[in-house]
A and B are shown apart, each in its own frame.
Chain A
């Protein structure tokens, strides 16, 4: 069964799709997809095993993955292409038992005007027993307007027994303001892995909030945030990992400061069980001088060395 709508989006969206979701102009997306452009659907396709339907009560979609679907990818990019758009969308993902899928959910905000352009995606994940999801999210801001470009994603996850969710999120420049809130409640044997990379420059602001409840026996969380704050930008990292059962939790915040960049890190570990093993690491500072020296000794200039170190750090 497939549900195909004509793909119809503008050139700005086309350019952003290539960056945020590996869109190929010739072959399109290889799998189910829903393209959101300026608060409207600009293309949708379901597959045999993954259905995408509009919500009845509010803007957004329900994505349902049949049990034991393996190896499929679903794309749900969202683009805002001009100023004076305040996009709010609710997307719910229902991942059937034993499924193993990739979800690509990039977001691009382009603003050449003076008014604000904002995308606020509220995502909920429900992972059934033994399911596995790789969730990839890339955020960019483009355009030369003075209006702010804002992306404020909220992600709430419920991980059933022995399920696994890996979130790979990237935001590299161009987004004036972002607040990313992620929460997860884990059942028995469930695991969540988060890899976040953020670079801010100019006067950009970025806030990350994680709240993970390790409720099930032998559940686990691994949250790693790497960030670079340049110019006069400001980043804040707040994480709370609650160990309410026999579990393992690890969170790490590594930040590189350049120019007048500022980073706040406030990690919290709340252990409520004697067998909860929770660890946090945090390191904030400028690029180590010896790293620059090493790359200079290979023939790079100081500036080239700094770029290479940051590029690798955020890879």
Chain B
């Protein structure tokens, strides 16, 4: 279980981004959603250890990981899929997947991993993870590196971004398989209704704080109704400017 206790984080300039978040993420699949610029990606980076909180505590299965760096958290079982895939000149898809898995991978294992994100291993394993890959291809490989880790807690930041409809459908199935599997829990930052619809719990983050959180059955109807209406001027009797 991951617990955040009054976590705050600000930019070096002093501008507050996360303004005190406390929550317990103890379901198999938690989706964090909310308006753009509300602090979701910052929250994911704080969980992964890319950024360190200005104050507050982050607890994973009873261990205080607040001061642990990204490597330490990775070794403890935290995996993180970047929103923007990182490109490497020279490192191939196979190199990255094997680094993620921590050992050499056979052809069947590579096929299975890439198949989960809708890619054909034959075509991709020896390609460089460089600018020669399209945005969607790189994104899917980024996700595959996290799947390869088979981690205790996997955090995905907007996995749907840049992915075509067919690959996205396969990805949703993969998330469901992980959720229904034996080990590992997922935290997914997403705006996609299909991902929201498979969540156990939904956390709505806005303006650096938790606006609302709870079981999907309780939160999703509000999101599709009230949350949408309150942000749409037309539904409030106004018009498009």
Interfacial residues, chain A to chain B (CB-CB below 8 A): 226, 254, 288, 290-291, 293-302, 308-309, 311-315
Contacts and interface: CB of A to CB of B under 8 A. Distances in A.
Interface string B74-100: 110001101000101111100110011
A301 B71 CA distance: 6
B227 interface: no
B69 interface: yes
B168 to A, nearest CB: 23
B78 to A, nearest CB: 8
A294 B86 contact: yes
B126 to A, nearest CB: 11
29 contacts: A226-B90, A290-B82, A290-B86, A293-B86, A294-B82, A294-B86, A296-B69, A296-B70, A297-B48, A297-B49, A297-B50, A297-B70, A297-B74, A297-B79, A297-B80, A298-B96, A298-B99, A298-B149, A299-B102, A300-B71, A301-B71, A302-B71, A309-B88, A309-B90, A312-B88, A312-B90, A313-B88, A313-B90, A314-B90
Contacts, number: 60
B89 A300 contact: no
B99 A308 contact: yes
Nearest to B90: A312
Contacts of B70: 293, 296-297
Contacts of B145: 298
B25 to A, nearest CB: 18
B93 to A, nearest CB: 12
Contacts of A297: 48-50, 70, 74, 79-80, 82
Interface of B: 48-50, 69-71, 74-75, 79-80, 82, 86, 88-92, 95-96, 99-100, 102, 145, 149
A298 B154 CA distance: 11
Nearest to A297: B80
Contacts of A291: 86, 88
Contacts of B91: 308-309, 312-313
A298 B89 contact: no
Nearest to B45: A293
Given A293-B50, A309-B91, A299 B86 contact: no
A300 to B, nearest CB: 7
A92 to B, nearest CB: 34
A288 B90 CA distance: 14
A311 B100 CA distance: 16
A291 B31 CA distance: 26
Contacts of A294: 82, 86
A315 B90 contact: yes
A76 B4 CA distance: 64
A225 to B, nearest CB: 12
A225 B49 CA distance: 35
B112 to A, nearest CB: 18
A295 B50 CA distance: 12
The 9 closest A-B pairs by CB, nearest first: A312-B90, A312-B91, A313-B90, A294-B86, A299-B74, A296-B70, A296-B71, A298-B100, A297-B80
A299 B88 contact: no
B189 to A, nearest CB: 15
A226 B82 CA distance: 27
A309 B92 CA distance: 11
A293 B82 CA distance: 10
A299 B89 contact: no
Contacts of B88: 291, 309, 312-313
Nearest to A290: B86
A288 B70 CA distance: 16
A302 B71 CA distance: 8
Contact of B75 (A254, A288, A299): A299
Contact of B89 (A295, A301, A313): A313
A288 B102 CA distance: 23
Given A300-B71, A301-B71, A302-B71, A295 B90 contact: no
Contacts of B50: 293, 297
A226 B74 CA distance: 31
Central interface residue in A288, A293, A297, by most chain B CB within 10 Å? A297
B69 to A, nearest CB: 7
Name the residue among B80, B88, B96 with the largest chain A CB count within 10 angstroms: B88
Nearest to A310: B90
Q: Which has the most chain B C-beta neighbours within 10 Å: A254, A290, A295?
A: A295
A151 B86 CA distance: 37
Contacts of B86: 288, 290-291, 293-294
A309 B70 CA distance: 17
A43 B88 CA distance: 43
